[in-house]
A = this chain, B = another copy of it.
Amino acid sequence: MHAGKKYSLKEFILWTRRDIYRLTILAVIPTILYHFCGFTFLSISWVPVALLGTAISFIIGFKNNASYGRLWEARQIYGGIINVSRSFGVMIRDFLSSKNKSQDVQIIFYRHFAWLTALRFQLREPRTWENMNDWRNVEYARNYHIAEKTDKIENVLAKYLSTDELAYILTKKNKATQIMALQSAHINKLAAESNLSDLQLQSLQTGISNFYDNQGKAERIKNFPYPRHFSSIASIMLNLFVFLVPYGLLNDFNKLGNGTLIEGYSIWLNIPFALLLTWVFNTLDVVGESSTNPFEGSANDVPITNISRTIEIDMRDMLDETDLPAAITPENNILL
């Protein structure tokens, strides 16, 4: 996520640079044809364009709404993981405190960090429909680095899991799921050895269900894109609209200069104004698009690396550890 005050207009213009080139060309063509070739019949009525504009507002509004909803839900899910981690943490610690089992407590805590790690690596894997290969984002992504792209999962997991468990987990299809299954096996073993009462086991098992819930919800957002037919029709309509706008404005700008010192030249104002209008609609759509996949590694992602670290700090602080890792901070305003 962007953790600063705002994106500047300059950043927006750079980010949509190539869109601006394209939109300019679209505006230049009819203007030249109208002015130099006398194709004045190109100045179609504004009437169908305006209606299309209203429909486009609805469509983009709808898409941005859904997109914001996906981003916000993704953040809620990771917020939920924070909350359950804290509850689960104090329960593990306090249920076992009178049992001389502090080593098990530590193993379970660190295995939890392993789960967080596996989950964030899985969520940051690429999907066909994601936008990180768009030139816009490739370029912008040079401003920050994505830990899950540069680190190796086995190295990170090795900090949290025993060698045996690490080897075991690396053979599994869905690593996060099976790490959590190890947690379940561990607490059941503790219960079978009478270190946990049946009720305590139930409370902890509920915690595990909650983790699975949140993991599954995050995977749902990851694996189920904003429906492609909704997305495609919006693009098609938008492209149609930005194509038509410069034609629809021709007439107005041609007449604008009549009787003034720019008579005969006012038609050229069509270019900046059409560009302005189409750029605004186009950029709105791009903004919406760039939040639909909140785990793709973009500048507008949910900061899951940061959140996972926060959980690790909070939980190790619960055990009164002293060498807590540093919080993850924004790089060029971007927090991942």
**Chain B residues, CB < 8 A from A25:** none
Docked CA distance A173–B318 (Å): 10
* A44 on the B face (CB < 8 A): yes
Docked CA distance A75–B97 (Å): 36
Docked CA distance A333–B3 (Å): 33
- Which of B38, B200, B287 contacts A233, CB < 8 Å? B287
Q: In the complex, what residue of chain B is closest to A192 when comparing beta carbons?
A: B98
Q: For the complex formed by this chain, how many copies does it contain in all?
A: 5
Report yes or no: A87 in contact with B209, Cβ–Cβ below 8 A.
yes
Report yes or no: A273 in contact with B90, Cβ–Cβ below 8 A.
no
* A253 on the B face (CB < 8 A): yes
* A203 on the B face (CB < 8 A): yes
Annotate A277-300 by CB proximity to B: 1 below 8 A, 0 otherwise: 100110110010011000000001
Docked CA distance A300–B94 (Å): 40
Which size class do A's interface residues fall under? 35 or more
B-binding segment of A60-68, A101-109, A149-157: A60-68
* A54 on the B face (CB < 8 A): yes
Report yes or no: B62 in contact with A62, Cβ–Cβ below 8 A.
no
Annotate A140-175 by CB proximity to B: 1 below 8 A, 0 otherwise: 000000000000000000000000000000001110
Q: In the complex, what residue of chain B is closest to A310 when comparing beta carbons?
A: B174
Report yes or no: A97 in contact with B188, Cβ–Cβ below 8 A.
yes
Report yes or no: B75 in contact with A252, Cβ–Cβ below 8 A.
no
Docked CA distance A33–B304 (Å): 53
| Extra inter-chain contacts (16) besides given A97-B192, A173-B324, CB under 8 Å | A1-B225, A6-B129, A7-B229, A43-B256, A44-B253, A52-B277, A52-B280, A68-B230, A75-B224, A79-B220, A82-B220, A83-B212, A97-B189, A173-B314, A177-B317, A230-B287
Q: Which 9 A-B pairs have the closest CB atoms?
A: A83-B216, A94-B188, A2-B228, A45-B252, A90-B184, A79-B220, A87-B209, A7-B232, A41-B260
A-B contact pairs, 23 of them (CB 8 A): A1-B227, A4-B128, A4-B129, A12-B236, A40-B259, A41-B262, A45-B249, A47-B249, A47-B252, A50-B51, A61-B62, A75-B220, A83-B217, A90-B181, A90-B184, A94-B184, A94-B185, A94-B188, A173-B313, A173-B324, A197-B198, A233-B283, A240-B276
